[in-house]
Chains A and B, each alone.
Chain A
Amino acid sequence: MRIVDYIQFIIFVVALIALTPPLGRYMAKVFQGEKTWMHKPLGWLETLTYKASGIDPKEEMSWKGYAVAFVVFHIIAIIVLMTLQMTQAWLPLNPQNLPNVSWDSSLNTAVSFITNTNWQGYSGEVTMSNLTQMVALTVQNFLSAACGIAVAIALTRGIARRSSSTIGNFWVDTTRTTVYVLLPICVVFAIFLVGQGVVQTFAPFVDVITLEGAKQTIALGPAASQVAIKMLGTNGGGFFNANAAHPFENSTALSNFFQMLSIFAIGAALTYTYGTMTKSRRHGWIIFGVMLAMFIGFTSLSLTSEFTTNPTFHQAGIMEGKETRFGVFNSILFSTVTTSASCGAVNAMHSSLSPLSGGIAMVNMMLGEIIFGGVGAGLYGMLLFVLLTVFIAGLMVGRTPEYLGKKIEAREMTMVILAILSPCAAILIGTGISAVTPAALSSLANKGPHGFSEMLYAFTSSAANNGSAFAGLSANTPFYNLMLAAAMFIGRFAIIIPILAVAGSLAQKKYSPPSSGTFETDTGLFAVLLIGVILIVGALTFLPGLSLGPIVEHLMMIKGITF
């Protein structure tokens, strides 16, 4: 690493820290129904949304009501997304006359975009019409992000409220997120991206004759408006196949920097929102600190691996699958940012990273994407581990654990464990089935342990609702479309429904004031214990799988063995 790399790293971290309090404070106001400076220009839009949708913003929902609204809304979104894809040939804004999408691919994509995964079995520029990209995919980029944030806020209310039977209103939380947080930022961000060179046009593809006289067809589309929310909402689904590596999606180092920052912005700020709404700001910063420490740790490991000489090529910082304008440092930083959050956009091909850097991308996802994480998902994912840590600490001293004045009991812990283990099971079982299924193995592009990694990465990415890939895998087959759709479904609903149950059950509890025996959650000791619990759960679950993939590949590579 060069000095300029360290400087870019420091600027990134400082910008993230600086952004957290103002954005976090703003979101806390929005979700507590207070007036902000954005209510003047946008208040009418919130009111209009309720009116047009027939929503009573004053209605309060129990956790069950919240969960039902959440599930119903997602099922309707799946139907809409599948319909749009399967009929796009007959609809307008299809300048390339692209055909209708197959049922299994459109099901996969629909599930992928409602669950904030944005796994893509398809190649955007040769599959989706402009109408599908906008009306189906861009919309769902916003809404899946807003739904994730809504759930995090519902859990926050569950912890903050006392003796309450309700946790908020799903429609109101989703509307406020969209209107006051996502949309205004995206408008500014999208226009900035266009200025950097990201395309935004409805023109058909352009045929050029190159200087050497070859024909080249250049794909275009309304990309910037989608790229802005794809990053800010930690969606990650590329407009083009090469995603954020495509010069029309991520044209400059500056567009790259702000894309990385926007991936983390909301996830980081939500720790502050959480601290504010639960009146334990110091604890919010402890959560932020744990996330930041783990982010810096894993990024450093990944950089070390990538900058270590590869004996096969006698070079370090291999440029395969990387873009010149980003270089090695920004490619690795992007890879850890996008997998720590549940974004999944890539500016370098993760399959071509050094084995351990690719492995760290997987570890980031396997731990549940709790390092800032997906918008909303990062916070509620981290709170699962916080509750687990509090519980374990309680067991150590032999008294009923308390967390922010709420007793943590068997019912909550059952739900927490269910939410932590379900995606793990989806990853391991899905990879296991694929490893013995000929239809799955015929999709592999790489041989040896890297081929295994392609499958492990695919199920990890799906169950963690990330969406990045070791993209050599030909995943647009009925087997993967259906298996990965199932993994994405489990990774979303098998976490969110238990989370809402925890929120409901905590909201009902009385406040129990801290006593001398209460384990404090705003100390460095708690932070260390939390990191320990996260790493132990992750290691116990995934070390065998990782050993068969990236670890053995690394051991072979350093001996100069190719396969």
Chain B
Amino acid sequence: MKYIIPAIRFKIFMTILLGLIYPFTITGVSQVLFPKQAGGNFIMRGGQVVGSTLIAQSFEKPQYFWSRPSAVGYNPLPSGGSNLGQASADLKKAVDERAAKLKAAHPDKAGEPPQDLLFASASGLDPHISIEAAQYQMQRVAKSRNLSIEQVNALLNESTAERQLGIFGEPTVNVLTLNIALDKSQGIESAPVLVPVPPVAPAAAAAVPAASPSTQTDTK
């Protein structure tokens, strides 16, 4: 058993090198080169962190673009998907409910809502929606804010990212930056206030901020 001592010493040495020196070095270099990204791409408004451009938030009010459905209720602790199979009756039921809700909220649109608004994301925190999904919601948002379609469309374009290098991935719309830009265009730049929620129904029947012209209650 002459290998026991070298094994222990090797493990200790590698633990210091790979478990401490390596991650601390990467952290140090990252903080210098990419401080914003390394820290989590957080956005401030009114002196307060309102979210990360990479983490989806729940949006249910008519004046906001809505995120994709989340199997974890937009709670990052822990992240995850529904893991339902494509022949699952539970999935069918959930999608039917989402479709009905979306159709009711978008009477101007005929046909099925875009796919990504019907199906939950993998992480439960997908910060993006497709361009089709944004266009689908545009009329509702414009009407609710008394903005013209053109005004909303201009902001939508600003929050739209094309494929990376023109080839990789899919075009995306960042829901949070778009909604912040919409608020800003109407002079809402103060920090949001925590709305107390009843312990069971999360973030559903919340009071609508003063900026909202519509007081239609949310339908979860």
Contact = CB atoms under 8 A, between A and B. Distances in A.
Interface string B176-205: 100110010000000111110100001100
A349 B82 contact: yes
Interface residues of A, number: 124
A478 interface: no
B59 A212 contact: yes
B84 A253 contact: no
A354 B86 contact: yes
A323 B118 CA distance: 13
Contacts of B31: 200-201
Interface of A: 4, 7-8, 11, 45, 49, 52-55, 65, 68-69, 72-73, 76-77, 80, 123-126, 134-136, 138-139, 142-143, 171, 174-175, 178, 183, 186-187, 190-191, 194-203, 205-220, 222, 224-226, 240-242, 245-248, 251-254, 256-257, 310, 312-315, 317-327, 330-331, 346-349, 351-355, 358, 445-448, 450, 453, 470-472, 553, 556-557, 561-563
Interface stretch (B135-143, B147-155, B163-171): B163-171
Nearest to B43: A208
Contacts of B169: 252-254, 256, 325-327, 330
Interface string B74-85: 111111111111
Nearest to B85: A450
Contacts of B74: 214, 216
Contact of A353 (B27, B86, B118, B163): B86
Contact of B82 (A196, A198, A317, A320): A320
Contacts of A207: 49
B105 interface: no
16 contacts: A53-B10, A174-B10, A194-B26, A203-B39, A206-B49, A214-B197, A219-B76, A219-B79, A220-B39, A220-B40, A224-B38, A242-B80, A253-B169, A256-B168, A326-B170, A349-B82
Interface string B56-90: 01111100100010000011111111111111110
Q: Which 9 A-B residue pairs are closest in the complex by CB-CB distance?
A: A253-B169, A213-B195, A472-B83, A245-B122, A123-B78, A241-B78, A135-B19, A242-B79, A242-B123
B107 interface: no
Contact of A211 (B9, B38, B59): B59
B84 A472 contact: yes
A354 B15 CA distance: 41
A320 B192 CA distance: 31
Contacts of B115: 315, 317-319
Contacts of A8: 167-168
A450 B179 CA distance: 39
B210 interface: no
B32 to A, nearest CB: 10
Nearest to A213: B195
Contact of A198 (B4, B10, B37): B37
A73 B3 contact: yes
A435 B104 CA distance: 44
Interface residues of B, number: 104
A191 B33 contact: yes
A225 B168 CA distance: 24
Interface in B99-137: 112, 115-116, 118-130
A556 B164 CA distance: 38
B168 A201 contact: no
Contact of A352 (B50, B82, B209): B82
Given A80-B11, A324-B128, A208 B60 contact: no
Contacts of A347: 122
B52 interface: yes
Contact of B57 (A68, A210, A325): A210
Contacts of A254: 164-165, 168-169
A301 B51 CA distance: 40
A312 B92 CA distance: 8
A178 B122 contact: no
Nearest to B57: A210
Nearest to A553: B87
B83 A445 contact: yes
A313 B98 CA distance: 13
A496 B197 CA distance: 55
B211 to A, nearest CB: 11
B123 to A, nearest CB: 4
B146 interface: no
Given A210-B192, A247-B55, A324-B129, A201 B27 contact: yes
A494 B7 CA distance: 21
A138 B86 contact: no
Among B122, B125, B130, B167, max chain A CB count under 10 A is at: B122
A470 B13 CA distance: 36
Contacts of B8: 76
Contact of A563 (B7, B52, B87): B87
A125 B76 contact: yes
Nearest to A141: B18
B92 A171 contact: no
A114 to B, nearest CB: 11
Given A211-B183, A240-B78, A326-B170, A310 B86 contact: yes
